[in-house]
A and B are shown apart, each in its own frame.
Chain A
Amino acid sequence: MPTLEYFQVESTEPAGGDLYRRIASTVITDHDILRVLDRLRIFIDPEVPIFIAVGLTRTVPRNIIVSDFSGVTYDGEKVILSIADETYLAPLLELLWKRFGKDRIMQPDRFTIEMHLSAEEQKGIEELIVADPTEGLFKDLIYTMQVICPEGFKVKKQSFQNGRFWFVASENTLQEDVLPLVQQQFAIMEASS
């Protein structure tokens, strides 16, 4: 199991910070995001009150395309998809129904999809993007931070871009621009690498 490259929880109340470090490590393990999380720094000041979490993710998996989980065979106008991994079957069917209509998509059995498509429509079927893992990753990361963050911190702001994410929460109204606070935490994290 991979471990975090950098993991620090700091608080203006050191005893509380230590307890929150334990909470954070339990939650990260429970939510199984250790495999994507590389660095994490959390800062909590209950006086303000504010909770800031900044971090970096490991290399994010690329988009899932049709050929990743199914074999594609062409027989004239007939295209047969043999599904190897059912995980992405539901989003694939949704996508195909939307693009070609339900009446042209048949599913004779659980692992086979038959389609009647023109030569033009057949182009790019194998490269069709079915799922974007980063979308779920972002939700999972932010949800994890929300679970870690103290009760009552309902006002939240978050961002995830190019493997860098931040989450800021407070009980009171957040200041208009939270970026300076976030940058400060990123700087501390990067300085210690």
Chain B
Amino acid sequence: MIQVPITYKGGVYRHDEILDLIEDMGGYIIQKHIIAQDVVLQALVPRDDIETLRAVSRPLAGEVIFAPLVGTEIAIVSMSLEIHHLPHASCDVAEYLRTAGAKTNMIGLARGFGKRIGLLSDEERDIINEHDLVIYLFGNFETCIRQKMPTFRRGIHVPIVVTGGPSTDALKKAIDPPVAGYVGEFGRFMHRTKEAPEIAKLDEIVSEVSRVLDGRRSEIAKDPMSISPARLMDVILEQLPDIHDVTSPVPVVVQMDGVRVKLPYDPFAAQLKEVEVEKGVTVGMICDIRPSRMRDYILVKIRPFSDTGQMV
């Protein structure tokens, strides 16, 4: 069953019918936001059933949009979060990627500013590596990007997408060895993105990120995971009652190859390990469970089929 990432936007009225329908179809609700009278759902829905969902949501004035980044967690690294350099382009990028379904985390570097002193601490590096992809938002000068890049890519294992003031071609030339994706002409600017060409640039970032993540997906498909991350999320939400006491809007964050569970590691890791996915198969048997560098959360990475020999 091929699941398609979608965003559903509609009213609060009878939205529970949509929730039930998605669950009945065998889909997964990754995020649910209720904002005043509106409901926004990020979900994975079986491809064949999209039209049914559309038909049901029509009388409720709901809208079903394809959202390519649902089920991904993306790190957005801003070179500086200095107050006198506000507003930062990173805010707009993070917000826009969220509309495409991604769960974004902004990372401001402790000593990131400036090409000479910019560096990544081990904590920053580890946090970035916990994501599916990282976007580096560089400034306007090619010289600085060329000089800074080796520092910022050291130890990073996840795909890197770079944005900066120079053109895409100039970025490609400046960065050696190449990174996964480039979006040029989007460097430092001192205003919010409102005009059409700027929004088009944000769309370009979304499509570049989708392209890179599609590549990663097809790589994962070569040796599929023992369980789909969305299903793992469902199992955790069902069988770990303490997760419902978490006040965070997204207590279980779905990633491409795992989930981040927002419960403290020490008291809950053992309990999580014993959660039964199917008869005789526990989470601990098919996943690596380790402490996340982000607060004291639990990071669950799903092991591939070739490793566990199980597919649930």
Contact = CB atoms under 8 A, between A and B. Distances in A.
Contacts, number: 71
Interface string A125-161: 0000000000000000001001100111110000000
Which of B79, B80, B191: most chain A Cβ within 10 A? B191
B84 A152 contact: no
A22 interface: yes
A16 B140 CA distance: 5
B189 A26 contact: yes
Contact of B80 (A19, A44, A151): A151
Contacts of A30: 190
B276 to A, nearest CB: 51
B188 interface: yes
Contact of A13 (B80, B117, B142, B190): B142
Contacts of B251: none
B115 A15 contact: no
B141 A154 contact: no
A171 B166 contact: no
Interface string A2-44: 0000000001010110011011001100100000000000001
A15 B170 contact: yes
B187 interface: yes
B150 interface: no
Given A26-B189, A26-B191, A147-B85, A152 B140 contact: no
A13 B142 CA distance: 8
**Among A22, A49, A151, A172: residue with most chain B CB under 10 A:** A151
A26 B190 contact: yes
B189 A152 contact: no
A47 B147 CA distance: 10
Nearest to A146: B84
Interface string B93-130: 00000000000000000000111111000000000000
Contacts of A154: 114
Interface residues of A, number: 25
Contact of A16 (B80, B118, B142, B189): B142
Interface in B149-184: 165-167, 170
Contact of B141 (A13, A27, A143, A147): A13
A132 B189 CA distance: 33
B10 to A, nearest CB: 38
B117 A23 contact: no
A30 B189 CA distance: 13
Contacts of B189: 19, 22-23, 26
B116 A46 contact: no
Nearest to B84: A147
B143 interface: yes
Contact of B140 (A20, A49, A143, A153): A20
B165 A151 contact: no
B139 interface: yes
Contacts of B140: 15-16, 19-20, 23, 150
B41 to A, nearest CB: 37
A23 B140 CA distance: 10
21 contacts: A13-B143, A15-B167, A16-B141, A16-B165, A16-B166, A19-B165, A19-B189, A23-B188, A26-B190, A26-B191, A30-B190, A46-B141, A143-B84, A147-B85, A150-B141, A150-B188, A151-B80, A151-B82, A152-B114, A152-B117, A171-B115
Interface of A: 11, 13, 15-16, 19-20, 22-23, 26-27, 30, 44, 46-47, 49, 143, 146-147, 150-154, 171-172
Given A16-B140, A153-B114, 11 more contacts: A13-B143, A16-B165, A16-B166, A27-B190, A49-B116, A143-B84, A146-B84, A147-B84, A150-B141, A151-B79, A151-B85
Interface of B: 79-80, 82, 84-85, 113-118, 139-144, 165-167, 170, 187-191
In the A-B complex, list the 9 residue pairs whose CB atoms are closest, starting with the nearest. Answer: A152-B114, A46-B141, A19-B140, A46-B143, A16-B141, A152-B113, A151-B80, A151-B113, A26-B190
